[in-house]
Amino acid sequence: MTADILKKNVPKHIAIIMDGNGRWAQKRFMPRAIGHRAGVRSVRNAVEYCANNEVEVLTLFAFSSENWRRPAVEVELLMALFMSSLQREINRLDEKNVCLRFIGDRTAFSEKLQQKMTEAEIQTKGNSTLTLVIAVNYGGRWDLCQATQTVIEKIMSGALDKQEITEQLINEHLSTAGLPEPDLFIRTGGEQRVSNFMLWQLAYTEMYFTSTLWPDFDQRYLDEAVKSFQGRQRRFGHTSEQVLNQSVTL
């Protein structure tokens, strides 16, 4: 599908909380697992849309640091689905020139899964059409903790002085180092909360909430979200007049 979004002012980085898989299945009197499987199709659609519309980074929240609290069978299913989707999609993503990157605490995963993740990152390292960031076992608080630990280690070893702690330095130690901050945040499934996703990085992101359940979220819905973004005025603390007069650089 060719999207009719304005080609200028396309968000550079879209970050999505893919929510509503369980309810999508339950509405159909099917097990939640079916909803998670159906969600993979929406992932493919979102990747294709972003690659075709010059979005530079797409971050997808696939499994939160809190999702371990779910019943063991569901956690196991999600892990298995993650592994099989990765194996199935990696070559296709590589052919489409997509660079894959994972954020989150991967030490909790099986050796095999960790190895597959690293292999996928190495295989697609040089690709430049789209960076696809998958957040797995990710939590915004975890990200801030791990960054703090590294910064403190550097201070203790004398490699860094405490005066050098700036927003820029924190950015460089987060798992998203080197990526632009998200311009557009989307949460499907009707909940209006951040659920411990990218707490630092979302400081000036435009938020878009929709009740559409993730497995139903096709390219038309994504296009609607992008259009909503394009109709907004971002001010970053300036006044509306300053932005309209273009007397400031955002």
From ligand IPE, Mg ion, none, interface partner of 78 (C-beta below 5 to 8 A by class) = ligand IPE
Concerning whether 67 is annotated as a catalytic residue, the answer is yes
Nearer to Mg ion, 19 or 89 (CB): 19
From ligand IPE, Mg ion, none, interface partner of 140 (C-beta below 5 to 8 A by class) = none
Within 10 A of 10 (CB to CB), how many other CB atoms are there? Answer: 19
CB of 16 to ligand IPE, least distance (A): 9
Residue 174, both tokens: 């987060």
Nearer to ligand IPE, 79 or 170 (CB): 79
CB of 175 to ligand IPE, least distance (A): 15
Of all residues in the shown chain, the one whose CB is closest to ligand IPE is 22
With b for 16 or more beta-carbon neighbours within 10 A and e for fewer, the 63-88 pattern comes to bbbebeebeeeeeebbbebbbebbee
Concerning whether 21 is annotated as a catalytic residue, the answer is no
Catalytic one among 9, 45, 52, 67? 67
* 8 Å CB contact between 62 and 71: no
Q: Given the rule CB under 6 A, which residues bind ligand IPE?
A: 17-23, 61-64, 67, 78, 189, 191, 193, 195
CB of 9 to ligand IPE, least distance (A): 27
CA distance 6 to 105: 37
CB of 172 to Mg ion, least distance (A): 32
Enumerate residues 6+ apart whose C-beta is below 8 A from 45.
217, 218, 219, 222
**Residue 94 burial (CB < 10 Å; 0-12/13-18/19+)?**
middle
Catalytic one among 19, 21, 137, 183? 19
What are phi and psi for residue 118, nearest 5 degrees?
-65, -45
From ligand IPE, Mg ion, none, interface partner of 61 (C-beta below 5 to 8 A by class) = ligand IPE
- At position 99, the amino acid (one-letter code) is C
CB of 182 to ligand IPE, least distance (A): 15
Enumerate residues 6+ apart whose C-beta is below 8 A from 109.
79, 117, 136, 137
Among 15, 16, 18, 19, binds Mg ion (CB under 5 A): 19
Q: Which residues are catalytic?
A: 19, 67
- Chain residues in the site for Mg ion (CB under 5 A): 19
